[in-house]
Each structure stands twice: as C-alpha cells, then as structure tokens.
C-alpha cells in the first residue's frame, strides 16, 4: 500500500471519526449523505430550514394549499354561525353557501375586503376581525419565506467532472488537480479551499477510516474572476506520492472539497462542497484552457469547458 | 488537592474575574445564571431581545393582546366623536355602539376595509386615516418579529448527559470526554469548541474562583456530519492529572462549554453553550457507539443514543 | 517628558495620520468628532444611514410628514381632475372637496379602501391604481425602516466614568484600568478590546500626533457575564511607565477604546467605542466591587456601581 | 527590465492564473472586466443579483411594467369570463370593458378593494381570490427588493485619481502611494487593504501575466476617521525598486486594490475594489493636505481634495 501511514494526521478530519464507512459522506452536489435519527420534526428551525431549502414547485404548492386550507377552515366557521350573517351574498351570483363563505373568507384573509359581502352580527364580526389579523401575519410569513428564498446567499460553483493526475512542472513531479469557476453573477472574494483525502485502512484487523488534509499549491485567492485550478503537488511529503489506481480503489479513496467565500452582492460568507471518488480520478491527463478570446482580443471564460482535458 | 496551581493561566477566563461564586454561571441549556441590576427596561434593543427570545405562547398572547388593546383605544375615540359618524352600523346587526366602533377599528387597523361601516365627518376621517397608517406600521413590526423569530439562526446541539473519565489509548492515560451532535437539519461548518474548567481555591484564606481552558485533542472540525466526541487528555500537563472525585466536589468544579459554528442554511455564525458540574462527571465509563447501520449497510446517527455509556 | 519615544510604533494607529489635532476624535458616546466635507447628500446609503440612526422622535415625525405630504400631493391631483370623479363624497359629511380628496387618497395609499368613496372615470381610476401601488411600496419602505431600527444590532456598554491609575500587584507596579459591563439583555461573546493612547509631540519644532496601542493584561474574553476590568500594566516596557499628570495634560493625552463582540441574539458582530481624556484619569484610586449578593448568596452585578472607586 | 523576477511570489495572485491579458481585470469603479459564458440566465440567485444591482431607473421601470403586465393578464381573464360578472362597472364612468376589468384587477392586486366594483359568480370569485393572494406575494417581493436595495451595505471610497511615486523619508527612499477616504456617513472599522501589482513578462518566448502583492507600510487601520495614504515603500526588497516609467508601460503594469472593512451602521463586512494602470502613475509628486480647519480650529476632511498633489 502506497499510502504512507505516518503522514496521516489524526487532527485533520471532517468530524467523521474513524468509523469505517462504505458510503460517500458528501455528495457531488454538496449535500450530506448521512441520515440522522431522532431529529424533532416540528421544531421552528427545522420547519424554516425545510421551507427555505425545498424546491420552488413544492414551495408554491405549500403556499397555495395553506391558503385554501385556511379559507376552508374559516368558511366552515362562518357557515356554522349562519350564512345569513354574511350580508350581500344574494348579489354575488353564487348559490352555494359554502362557496360564498369561502370567498368572503378569502377577501378577509387577503385584506382585499371589497365589502360587497360584509360581516353582520357580533360573532361573525369577531371572527372576521380575528381572520384579518391572522391573514396579515400568515401572509407576512409566506412573503418573508418567499423573499428569504429569493435573496438567500449561496455559492454555486461549477467543478470539473474529474480530478486529474498530471505532470506538475513547478515541483518537478506530478500533481493532483481539479478546476472550478463561479457559476453566479456575484463577485466572490476571499475564496478559501480545503481538500481532505479519506481512505480505509486495516489496523489490527479492523477497518478504520483515515482522513488527511492535502496541502495545496494555493489554498486561497483574494478574488475569483476566472477559473481556478486547485493543485495538490505529489511531492515526497504527500501521502499520495506513490499511490496507484489500484490503491485508490481498494482503499475506497474519496476527496472531499470544502470551499468558503465572501459574496459581494449579499455581503455574506457562503460555503460550497463537493467530493470526488476514486473512479472519478483520471490518470495522466491535463486540463485544456477554458478561455476564449472575443473579437477585441479580450479574455472570456467559457464555463462549459471547465471539465475539458486531454490524455497525455 | 490535586489541582496544580502553576497550570492555572490567569489569561484564560470567561470574563468572570476571580469572584468566588456558588452558583453555576452557565446553565445546562446555555442561558446565563447571573442577574444584572440596573438594565433599562424600555430600551429598544432590550424590548426586541425579549420579543425575539420569549416563548411562542407568550409571543402570540402579546400580539393578540396588543391587537385588542389598540382596537379598544381607537373604538373609544370613535365613540367619543360620536357613533353617528360611523355610517352603516345600522345594517351590522350589532346593537352595542362600542362593539360597532371596535369592529370598524379592526377593519381599519388591518386595512381590510369592507366599507359596510365607513367613516363620516372630518374628525372621524382623520382618525381613520391615522389608524390605517398605524395599522400598517404595527402589523409590519409584528410580522417582522414573527419572521425574525422564525428565521433566527441558532445552533441546537444535543450534548451527552455526562462527562466521562475514560481510558484514552492515544495518549496512554485517561481522558475527560463528552459527546455532542447537531439536532437541526442545517449543515454546520467550521465548528469550534472551547472547554473551561473552573473551581474554587483558597488563597491567603480567601476563596477565589480559578479558570483554566482545557487543551483538547481536537478543538475544531470543518464539517459536523456525525457525532463528535470532545476529549481532554489527562496527561501530566493537565491540571486535572491526578484529580479525584472528592477534589471536584470540594472545589465546586464546573466545566463550561462554548461552541461556535457556521450555519449553512442561514449563512451566519451561531453559538451554543452548556456546562457540566462535578456531580455530572462519571468516573470509569466509556461511550457506546451512537451509530446504527440501515439495511444497505449505510451509517446512520441515532441522536437518542448520544448519552449512552457503559461502566468499565 | 516621560513618554518614551522609542516605544511609539507608527504601525499602530487609528487611521488618524500624524495630523496634530486639538479635538477629541472619538466622543465618549462613541460617535466620531471629525466633520467631512463633500459627502453627497442624496445617496441611497446615506439616506438609509440617516433614517436608521436618527432619534425615534425624528423618525416618527418623518414618517407622519411623508404620509401627509404624499396624500396632499394625490389629493391635489384628484381635485384637479374633478371632485365629481370621486363618488360617494356626498355621504361623507365632509363639505371641503380638498379634505374629501385627501381622505380618499389616505384610504387608497393605506389600501384600506372602504369604498364609500370610490374612483370614477378613466383618469381618476388610473391615478388610484398608481397610488395604491405607490402606497404598498412606500409603506414597505417605512415598515422596513421601522423594523430595521428596531432589530438593529448594537452593543451598549456602560463604561466607568474614569480611568484609574492604581497599584497592580500582578506585575508588581501600577496599572491603568477602567471597567465596563454589558447594558443589554443580549449575551455578548468573543469580546475583544483595543486601547490606543494618543498624545502630541513636538518633532523638529512641529507638533505631530502620536498613537500607541497599549498592551493589555487581557484583551479578549470568551463571554462577558459580569463586569470586566481592563488593565494596562505600567511596566518598564510601557510608554506610560513614568508618566505624570502634568505630562498627560501638556501632551493632550487621550485614550481611545474600541470594542468588538458577537451578539448572540442577533448573531452578528457588534462594535462600540469610547474615549477618555487626561482630565478623566484619576491618580491613586481603585475600583470598589460592583457585585451584590442576593438573599440566596448568588452573585448579582449592579450596573450603577461600575464607576465607583475609592482613593488610596 | 527592472522588475526583479525572484521577488514574484506565485502564491500571491488574484485568481487570474498566468493567462496573459490585455484588458484591465478590475475597472476603476470596482466592477470586473471579464465576461463569463455559460452562466444560466434564469437562476433565482442571478435574477436577484440583477434586480438588486441594476440602476434605480431600471428598477422602477421593471416594477411598473410588471404591475401593468400582471393587471393586463388578469383583466383579460375577467373579460373572457364576462364583464357582467363584475358588478358596479355601470357606475364607474368608464365605458371600455377592458379598462373596467383592468381597474378592478388593480384594486384586487393591491388589495385596496374599494368594492364599488365587485366580483360575482363562482369563476370570477375564484380568480379574484387567487389574484389577491398573488398580489400580496408579488408586492412582498417588490418591496423586499426595494428595501434590500435601500439597505444593502456597500462601501464607497473616494480614491485619489493617481498613484504617486514620491520621496518617502521613513524608509529613506521613494514610496508608491495613493490616498482614499470614506464617502459614506457610515463609520468604517477594521479597514484592511491589499495591493497587487501585475505585469506581463516573456518566459520562453511566451507572454505570461505575473502578480505580486505589494508590502505596505500599513495594511490595516482600526477605524477610518480621516483620509488614509496607503504607501508601498520602494526599498531594495521591492520588485519595483528600480522600475522606470517605460518599464511600466511596456509590461502593461496594473495595480489592483482590494479593500475590506466592517460597516458599523449595517454591522456587516463590506468590500471595495479599484485599479490603477501605468498611465495613472505620476512620477515625482506628493499629495497636498486634504484637511481644512474650521473657525474653532477643529480639523475637517475635504473629500474633494483627496486627489490633489504637487509636482516636486
């Protein structure tokens, strides 16, 4: 086995412990592939987390469903008090009393309050006063969530599909490298990257998981304007100095990538993650330029070419 | 007494000074157990702090009470101007003039404005115009608070119930350890921990409080995906090297835990705190795994097992 | 002159340059005492800054004035189109056409829209449709500002009125010290402090201002639960080692204090500032405890006693 | 060529790589002058980015256009259901059915809901109930964006028009310097600056771009109250020690400036950028003071004088 044990620093882990795992911990899209049992379902923060991170289609379905359910609830109340306490329904050209109550409820909840249907009697007036209050608060939550989703800062990087093992002239040997660029219009500043190499090792007959933070030729750039080729030089000090394709496969090798940056539009720190597994490593290849020149000779970055490489 | 004086570094404190205290400064839930006198009650920030951190039931009671009080206030004004200046009350099926004024006020404050009751006369129109302005601003505050409470970033960790003193093979001696995991769906990054040991000591016949930041085997993880066992190795350099159960009790020993992390959903730094007292230390025990494997052999974390240990 | 020149490090300044100044740069309340000319008045950020930081009374006056001005503006437009295009004014018991137009405008701007006065004709309907849009946006701005003011994170410390020069046993000499505590209900974490000593010096016949960052016995606490006595030990290394009251006065000595902390309620970093001038230094005095014990023997902090000292 | 190769540190770059570029990467106003191809147009974050950073005139046009388009859309629906399902249009003094439907739609979307026009029939009521919900959410987005634009933290510095090469007595040689000041009312804390010198170099017949972070006499100030003259001393260690005007021109020399600060009003970190090209360097000149004294002898900073210099 070419992975040098003495280089494995127990301090450099990702909080995974030495639990031997068969699964990829970080998925390619940055999500975490470990299930946790016992998380309370109805906590405020978890509800917020779900509503902020769910798909747009699910979000809109949730909002519309909630709007209808609340109106059905209040319509039932108005109906049970008596439809005669809603004045003006005769002119509404709607014969179903429930629908009349439903539409009055919708006009109250949204505070549009045309008034062609209006509440009468003490109880109905109380319910309407309460519903309009609830409506304002509920819509505030919905619109807060809508804006929160819309304005939520998040980094989105395009990563090369593969990690390459290529000649790296600067250190006179080979280098392990991948490439990334910013997919957003935002300007990213103070971009810092951390690459952790993890693999299984048999210690005293028991398989344990080892983690090793790879030193990078450069781990931080002040501003990310073009693409960035992240390089771990395979020098003698590297635990991967003599590693072979077979070593990587047998030890279930994984490269976890954590990125932190400052987003200039949102003025907030953002993070992104990805991972590469041993079968996503290409041996003996180098990236081809992702730049094009426009008619004025100005450099342009083509995001679709980030993954392009040639075998050598 | 086995606590070694020379190891106590006066620089490493929690801002408590050397005031000898009988109480626990940080409660188990992370709140602070020191009362301060002389804080102004009606400052904006303190009011905000109370409204953001109070229980949900108290918050809803406050909102509903405020809604009713403001409407009673404006209803009294409308009534004193004259109920005859509110047109349409005859059709409202409400005989009590105060209730009619109250319901009109509610329709104005919430801007639902059905119009079946409408203001007439200069004074009533002025009050209604003013009330609708106040209503918009007041509901904005209420809904801002509602969304602020809902979207407020906060870390919630589950900590093991006890600190264990267990054999720690890595340094060849014993270790003082506790365990934690993230109870939220959020991904936590850059998790840093600080453990402070505090105890009473008699110096020149006067009891003073000492603080000592314990060196940890690992004080930071890049991403918290599973559980984390925080370990202070009881080496010869540790002030707790030869400490006994009796020492801890007599010196009123406390372990204060401060955690900082970056929340990936909220893109904000969050903090959490807890503390352990001498009677929450278990001597000669080790944690049992909190992992389970699902049917596919994938590792799952069971939050309910975080506190589980066996005596050795 | 006892201020030792060689200790003055030109790197440690507050961005003041060496401009000799007669005024206090930082006021006791933390505001900056330097006027800048040429700042554009109507920039968005400066307008926001003014609206967020102005007094509450000024803020409410601005909001009410804006509400009235906008309504007067639209009332004038409705009147110029023709009061006959506002139906229902006959029943409004208001004889003045301008006031009728004003009240209709207010009902539109606040979207309360009772409908007892309603727009008629193409032009009036267009104006009303536009006004309700403006109303929603304008009230959103006003309420955003209201909530922004309410929820704006800011540290508020109570500082002792004086800096004391007192015996400081830990380093065997004297110490320069002041005391502070948190006046808010918020929990403050990672509190860091920087004290800069500045004074005038005559170099080649020209008076220049010098700055020196004072080393502190402790410059950071993890959590501020009680009061904090900040100490600069007057050791031989200190530029103030042999300084006299007369030196401080003649050199126009000032101590500038910058504090940074993390606010646990707002999850944001907050800053505070203050300054002490030579006439606020008390020679030969020490602080008396600001603690009291309640009936259970628990320690309580009395904010009103932060400045208390006794002469020695 | 006077640029010393051995001083060029490959670690200190701005993420540009060694791509030889003819264009200025960072514009004087801080925007980035590199086009990226392949960015998805309709991502949420990019849409938000565009709406937050577009000019105010474009923003208002977008809001008004969206309001009209949505109302035209719903008016068309109401018309296709049948104008007879909108009661009260006879009294509206508007003869065009489409305009009547449009105005009803506007009153529904803005939730002003006068009620002089009201929906009748099941289908029209459903559409109106749906439109008022959409209206609330859409206006929430619009007003969120409006407030987001208004309250967006951003640093605005005034930079001197030129970089000067002037005598610099402190290090006994020359210095390269420029000047900046805060153009906002906000107080800026912890202001840090990084200056990168980049130039073309011919290596093995191929032009590559080199980057060098210039050491500064001072790269951080705790608080920016007056102006700040940023100085890179041209000592023997500097790659610019013997550089000539001709060298700068032939190597297409550029100075990129990145600034980070903490904004005390917004409690957020802000960034700013600018760049100077070789033709903006003035040889043999020094800045004249940007201060004036008011009638009380107090120092004032005149932002209009930041660029002023005299030839020497």
pLDDT digits over B182-197, tens only?
A: 888 888 888 999 998 9
Q: Residue B46: list chain C partners with CB under 8 A.
A: 184-185
Report the C-alpha dihedral over residues D155, D160, D164, D169, rounded to 10 degrees. -70
Mean pLDDT score, B134-162: 84
Separation between Cα atoms, residue A101 and residue D80, nearest integer Å: 25
Residue D10: its pLDDT value, please? Answer: 40
Residue A202: its pLDDT value, please? Answer: 80
Checking if the pLDDT of C17 tops 70, the result is: no
Q: Residue D261: list chain C partners with CB under 8 A.
A: none
Could you tell me how far CA A243 lies from the centroid of its own chain? 33
Checking if the pLDDT of C270 tops 80, the result is: yes
Residue A107: its pLDDT value, please? Answer: 92
Checking if the pLDDT of D93 tops 90, the result is: no
Contacts (Cβ under 8 Å, ≥6 apart) of B285: B162, B164, B165, B166, B309, B310, B311, B312
- Nearest by CB to residue A267, choosing from D36, D38, D268, is D268
Which residues pair with residue C44 across a beta bridge?
A: none
Residue D16: its pLDDT value, please? Answer: 53
Q: Answer yes or no: pTM beyond 0.95.
A: no
Confidence of residue B5 (pLDDT cuts 50, 70, 90): very low
Closest CA–CA distance from residue D245 to any residue of chain A (Å): 25
Mean pLDDT score, A240-265: 88
- Nearest by CB to residue A38, choosing from B154, B267, B302, is B302
Average pLDDT of every residue of chain C: 84
Could you tell me how far CA C23 lies from the centroid of its own chain? 20
Kindly state which CATH superfamily the domain A5-35+154-311 is placed in: G protein-activated inward rectifier potassium channel 1 (2.60.40.1400)
Q: Residue A183: list chain D partners with CB under 8 A.
A: 39-40, 43
For residue A169, CA distances in Å to A234, A282, A287 come to: 11, 18, 14
B251 touches chain C (CB under 8 A): no
Of A34-48, A218-232, C249-263, C295-309, which range is least confident?
A34-48
Contacts (Cβ under 8 Å, ≥6 apart) of A34: A23, A25, B225, B226, B298, B299, B300, B301
- Give A293 or D197, the one with higher predicted confidence: D197
Closest CA–CA distance from residue D308 to any residue of chain C (Å): 14
- Give B252 or B153, the one with higher predicted confidence: B252
Average pLDDT of every residue of chain D: 84
Separation between Cα atoms, residue D256 and residue D26, nearest integer Å: 7
The candidate with the shortest Cα–Cα distance to D291, out of C53, C209, A90, is C209
- Among C222, C230, C262, which would you mutate to test the B interface (most chain B Cβ atoms within 10 Å of its Cβ)? C222
Query: How many C-beta atoms surround the C-beta of residue C107 within 10 A?
Result: 32
The candidate with the shortest Cα–Cα distance to D128, out of D147, D140, D115, is D115
- Among D115, D143, D144, which would you mutate to test the B interface (most chain B Cβ atoms within 10 Å of its Cβ)? D115
Of A159-173, B167-181, B290-304, D166-180, which range is least confident?
B290-304
- Nearest by CB to residue B19, choosing from C94, C147, C291, is C291
Checking if the pLDDT of D19 tops 70, the result is: no
For residue A15, CA distances in Å to A2, A11, A19, B303 come to: 25, 10, 10, 16
Q: Residue A69: list chain D partners with CB under 8 A.
A: none
Mean pLDDT score, A12-17: 48
Q: What percent of chain D has pLDDT over 90?
A: 33
- Test C184 with B46 for CB contact under 8 angstroms: yes
Separation between Cα atoms, residue A276 and residue B63, nearest integer Å: 51
- Test D115 with B114 for CB contact under 8 angstroms: yes
For residue C176, CA distances in Å to B4, C166, C252, C287 come to: 30, 6, 17, 12
Separation between Cα atoms, residue C237 and residue C256, nearest integer Å: 20
- Test A115 with C114 for CB contact under 8 angstroms: yes
The length of chain B, given as a count of residues: 312
Mean pLDDT score, A55-76: 94
Q: Which strand (E) or helix (H) includes residue C57?
A: helix C56-81
Closest CA–CA distance from residue A205 to any residue of chain B (Å): 17
pLDDT tens digits for range C147-158: 888 877 777 888
- Among D19, D30, D45, which would you mutate to test the A interface (most chain A Cβ atoms within 10 Å of its Cβ)? D45
CB proximity under 8 Å: A 231-250 to B: none
Q: Which strand (E) or helix (H) includes residue B297?
A: none
Task: For A132, name the nearest residue in chain C, comparing CA atoms only.
Answer: C112
Maximum Cα interatomic distance, chain D, rounded to a whole number of Å: 90
Residue C18: its pLDDT value, please? Answer: 58
| Residue in the block written with tokens 């994984």 | A254
Confidence of residue D151 (pLDDT cuts 50, 70, 90): confident
Question: Could you name the CATH architecture of A44-150?
Answer: Orthogonal Bundle (1.10)
- Among D66, D69, D93, D114, which would you mutate to test the C interface (most chain C Cβ atoms within 10 Å of its Cβ)? D114
- Give C40 or D238, the one with higher predicted confidence: D238
Contacts (Cβ under 8 Å, ≥6 apart) of C42: none
Dihedral-angle region of residue B164 (phi above 0 means left; psi in -120 to 50 means alpha; beta otherwise): beta
Checking if the pLDDT of C277 tops 60, the result is: yes
For residue A44, CA distances in Å to A60, A64, A65, B185, B189 come to: 20, 21, 20, 11, 21
3-state secondary structure of C109: helix
3-state secondary structure of D5: helix
Contact predicate A185/A214, CB 8 Å? no
Contacts (Cβ under 8 Å, ≥6 apart) of C51: C59, C62, C145
The candidate with the shortest Cα–Cα distance to B148, out of B262, B53, B41, B260, is B53
D82 touches chain A (CB under 8 A): no
Separation between Cα atoms, residue A178 and residue B23, nearest integer Å: 55
Respond yes or no on whether ipTM tops 0.95.
no
Strands (E), chain B: 35-37, 86-87, 118-119, 157-159, 163-168, 173-182, 188-203, 206-213, 220-223, 228-234, 254-263, 268-277, 281-283, 285-287, 291-293, 299-302, 309-311
Closest CA–CA distance from residue D124 to any residue of chain A (Å): 10
Closest CA–CA distance from residue D185 to any residue of chain B (Å): 22
Q: Which of B166-170, D231-235, D287-291: highest mean pLDDT?
A: D231-235
Residue B19: its pLDDT value, please? Answer: 60
- Among A38, A107, A114, A274, which would you mutate to test the B interface (most chain B Cβ atoms within 10 Å of its Cβ)? A38
Q: What is the CATH number of domain B8-35+154-311?
A: 2.60.40.1400
Strand A299-302 relative to strand D35-37: parallel, antiparallel, unpaired?
parallel
CB proximity under 8 Å: C 96-115 to A: 111, 113-115
Q: Residue A115: list chain C partners with CB under 8 A.
A: 114-115
Residue A173: its pLDDT value, please? Answer: 84
pLDDT tens digits for range C212-242: 889 998 888 888 877 888 999 998 888 888 8
Those chains having 3 or more beta-carbon pairs within 8 angstroms of chain D are A, B, C
- Nearest by CB to residue C35, choosing from D67, D221, D300, is D300
Residue A78: its pLDDT value, please? Answer: 95
- Give C79 or C30, the one with higher predicted confidence: C79
Checking if the pLDDT of D22 tops 80, the result is: no
What count of Cα atoms within 13 Å lies in the side-chain half-sphere of residue C206? 6
Handedness of CA A10, A15, A17, A21 (dihedral sign): negative
Confidence of residue B98 (pLDDT cuts 50, 70, 90): very high
- Nearest by CB to residue D226, choosing from C15, C112, C125, is C15
Residue D21: its pLDDT value, please? Answer: 63
Burial state string for A65-104 with b = 16 or more CB within 10 A and e = fewer than 16 = eebeebbeebbeebbebebebbbbbeebbbeebebbbbbb
What count of Cα atoms within 13 Å lies in the side-chain half-sphere of residue B75? 18
Of A60-74, B145-159, B194-208, D7-21, which range is least confident?
D7-21
Burial state string for A159-194 with b = 16 or more CB within 10 A and e = fewer than 16 = bbebbbbbebeeeeebbbbbbbbbbbbbbbbbbebb
Checking if the pLDDT of A13 tops 50, the result is: no
CB proximity under 8 Å: B 139-158 to A: 139-140, 142-144, 146-147, 149-151, 154, 156
The candidate with the shortest Cα–Cα distance to A224, out of A307, A149, A285, A303, is A303
- Test B258 with C56 for CB contact under 8 angstroms: no
Backbone φ and ψ for D241, nearest 5 degrees, come out as -50, -50
Return the CATH number of C10-34+154-311, one of 3.40.710.10, 1.10.10.10, 3.90.1200.10, 2.60.40.1400: 2.60.40.1400
Backbone φ and ψ for A204, nearest 5 degrees, come out as 55, 40
Confidence of residue D303 (pLDDT cuts 50, 70, 90): confident
Residue A18: its pLDDT value, please? Answer: 59
Mean pLDDT score, D79-86: 92
- Among C93, C114, C115, C151, which would you mutate to test the B interface (most chain B Cβ atoms within 10 Å of its Cβ)? C114
Closest CA–CA distance from residue A111 to any residue of chain D (Å): 6
Backbone φ and ψ for C187, nearest 5 degrees, come out as -90, 130
Residue D11: its pLDDT value, please? Answer: 38
Checking if the pLDDT of D172 tops 80, the result is: no
Residue B270: its pLDDT value, please? Answer: 86
Residue D9: its pLDDT value, please? Answer: 38
Instruction: Check if CATH label 1.10.287.70 holds for domain C44-151.
Output: yes
Which residues pair with residue B164 across a beta bridge?
A: B177, B282
Residue A11: its pLDDT value, please? Answer: 38
Of B104-113, C44-53, D15-24, which range is least confident?
D15-24
Residue D152: its pLDDT value, please? Answer: 78
Contact predicate D253/D181, CB 8 Å? no
B125 touches chain C (CB under 8 A): yes
Structure tokens at C177: 């010290």
- Among C38, C114, C194, C266, which would you mutate to test the D interface (most chain D Cβ atoms within 10 Å of its Cβ)? C38
Checking if the pLDDT of D49 tops 90, the result is: no
Mean pLDDT score, A267-287: 89
Query: How many C-beta atoms surround the C-beta of residue D170 within 10 A?
Result: 10
Handedness of CA D294, D297, D303, D308 (dihedral sign): positive
Structure tokens at A275: 């991972």
The candidate with the shortest Cα–Cα distance to D262, out of D190, D193, D154, is D190
Size of interface A-C (CB pairs under 8 A): 5
Size of interface B-D (CB pairs under 8 A): 5
Q: Residue C194: list chain D partners with CB under 8 A.
A: 222
Contact predicate B274/B162, CB 8 Å? no
Separation between Cα atoms, residue D159 and residue D180, nearest integer Å: 4
Checking if the pLDDT of B206 tops 80, the result is: no
Residue C188: its pLDDT value, please? Answer: 87
Domain boundaries, chain C: 10-34+154-311, 44-151
Q: Which of A218-222, C163-167, D141-145, D151-155: highest mean pLDDT?
A: C163-167
What count of Cα atoms within 13 Å lies in the side-chain half-sphere of residue C34? 24
Checking if the pLDDT of C12 tops 50, the result is: no
Checking if the pLDDT of D6 tops 70, the result is: no
- Test D144 with A142 for CB contact under 8 angstroms: no
Checking if the pLDDT of D287 tops 50, the result is: yes
Separation between Cα atoms, residue D199 and residue B128, nearest integer Å: 68
Separation between Cα atoms, residue C222 and residue B272, nearest integer Å: 12
Residue B3: its pLDDT value, please? Answer: 46
- Test B115 with D115 for CB contact under 8 angstroms: yes
Average pLDDT of every residue of chain A: 84
Give the residue ranges of DSSP H helices in B13-96: 44-53, 56-81
Question: What own/partner pairs with CB < 8 Å and gap ≥ 24 does D46-54 have?
Answer: D46/A184, D46/A185, D47/A150, D48/A150, D48/A151, D48/A265, D48/D145, D49/A184, D49/A185, D49/A186, D49/A265, D50/A185, D51/D145, D52/A151, D52/A265, D52/D145, D52/D148, D52/D149, D52/D152, D53/A265
The length of chain C, given as a count of residues: 312
3-state secondary structure of D88: coil
Q: Residue A144: list chain B partners with CB under 8 A.
A: 143, 146-147, 150-151
| Residue in the block written with tokens 């909080």 | A15
């Amino acid at each position: 086995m070419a992975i040098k044990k003495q280089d494995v620093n127990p301090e450099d882990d990702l909080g995974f412990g030495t639990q031997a795992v068969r699964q990829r911990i970080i998925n390619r899209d940055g999500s975490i592939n470990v299930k946790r049992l016992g998380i309370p379902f109805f906590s405020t923060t978890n509800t917020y987390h779900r509503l902020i991170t769910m798909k747009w289609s699910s979000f809109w379905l949730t909002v519309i469903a909630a709007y209808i359910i609340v109106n059905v609830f209040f319509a039932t109340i108005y109906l049970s008090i008596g439809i005669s306490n809603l004045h003006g329904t005769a002119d509404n050209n709607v014969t179903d009393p429930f629908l009349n109550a439903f539409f009055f409820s919708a006009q109250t909840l949204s505070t549009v309050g045309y008034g062609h249907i209006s509440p009468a009697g003490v109880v109905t007036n109380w319910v309407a006063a309460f519903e309009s209050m609830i409506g304002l608060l509920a819509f505030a939550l919905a619109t807060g969530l809508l804006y929160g989703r819309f304005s939520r800062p998040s980094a989105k990087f395009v990563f090369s599909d593969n990690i390459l093992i290529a000649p790296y002239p600067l250190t006179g040997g080979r280098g392990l490298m991948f490439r990334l660029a910013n997919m957003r219009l935002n300007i990213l500043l103070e971009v810092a990257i951390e690459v952790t190499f993890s693999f299984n090792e048999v210690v005293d007959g028991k398989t344990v998981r080892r983690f090793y933070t790879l030193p990078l030729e450069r781990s931080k750039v002040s501003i990310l304007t073009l693409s960035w080729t992240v390089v771990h030089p395979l020098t003698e000090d590297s635990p991967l100095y003599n590693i072979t394709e077979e070593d990587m496969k047998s030890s279930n090798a994984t490269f976890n990538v954590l990125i932190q940056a400052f987003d200039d539009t949102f003025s907030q720190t953002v993070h992104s993650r990805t991972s590469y597994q041993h079968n996503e490593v290409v041996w003996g290849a180098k990236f081809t330029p992702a730049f094009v020149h426009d008619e004025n000779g100005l450099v342009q970055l083509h995001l679709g070419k980030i993954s392009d490489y040639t075998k050598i």
